[in-house]
C-alpha cells in the first residue's frame, strides 16, 4: 500500500523551510505527533502526497523549548501546535491561531508531561 515510507531528521532552524519545500511539491500535512519517554522527547511531522507517498520528519526537542510554527505554510498546523503546546509544554511561536492555553480543558497544565516507565510502571513527574 505504501510505496515509500521513510523518516528523516529536521531541526527547528530548517523546519519552516522544509514545510515550504514539501508544500511546493504537493505534500499535505497529515499529523504532528509528540512523544515523551523517560529518556527523550521528539516530534514527528508526517506529510503525504497522492497515492500514499508518506514521509516523516523527526525533531528532537526538550520540554519548554520554543519552536517555530509551520502554520504560515499549512494553516491547519496551528491545531496540532496548540495541542502540542498545551499537552506537552512545548512553546510554538508564530501560530496562525494561538488558543493561549484554552484549546483543551484539562485538570492540569501540560497533562502529558508525566510519563510511565514501562519497566517499573511508576509515573515520573517532570
**pLDDT tens track for 13-29:** 999 999 999 999 999 99
Tens of pLDDT, residue by residue over 52-74, are 889 999 999 987 789 999 999 99
- Of residues 84, 94, 68, 93, the one with CA closest to residue 31: 84
Block residue for cell numbers 503525504? 48
Neighbour-count burial of 69, counting CB atoms closer than 10 A to its CB (0-12 exposed, 13-18 middle, 19+ buried): buried
Size of the chain in residues:
126
CA torsion sign for 1, 4, 55, 9 is positive
Percentage of the chain modeled with pLDDT above 70 = 79
Higher pLDDT, 51 or 24: 24
- Of residues 59, 106, 103, the one with CA closest to residue 85: 103
41 backbone dihedrals φ, ψ, rounded to 5°: -145, 135
* pLDDT for res 51: 78
Name the pTM for this structure: 0.81
Beta bridge partner(s), residue 53: 49
* pLDDT for res 33: 94
* pLDDT for res 11: 96
Cα gap 10→120, rounded to integer Å: 33
Amino acid at each position: 500500500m505504501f510505496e515509500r515510507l521513510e523518516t528523516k531528521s529536521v531541526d527547528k532552524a530548517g523546519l519552516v523551510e522544509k514545510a515550504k519545500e514539501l508544500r511546493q511539491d504537493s505534500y499535505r500535512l497529515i499529523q504532528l505527533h509528540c512523544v515523551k519517554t523517560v529518556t527523550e522527547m521528539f516530534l514527528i511531522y508526517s506529510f503525504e502526497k497522492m497515492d500514499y507517498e508518506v514521509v516523516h520528519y523527526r525533531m528532537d526537542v526538550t520540554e519548554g523549548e520554543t519552536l517555530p510554527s509551520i502554520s504560515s505554510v499549512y494553516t491547519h498546523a496551528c491545531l496540532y501546535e496548540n495541542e502540542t503546546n498545551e499537552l506537552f509544554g512545548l512553546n510554538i511561536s508564530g501560530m496562525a491561531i494561538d488558543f493561549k492555553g484554552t484549546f483543551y480543558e484539562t485538570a492540569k497544565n501540560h497533562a502529558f508531561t508525566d510519563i510511565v516507565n514501562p519497566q517499573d510502571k511508576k509515573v515520573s513527574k517532570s
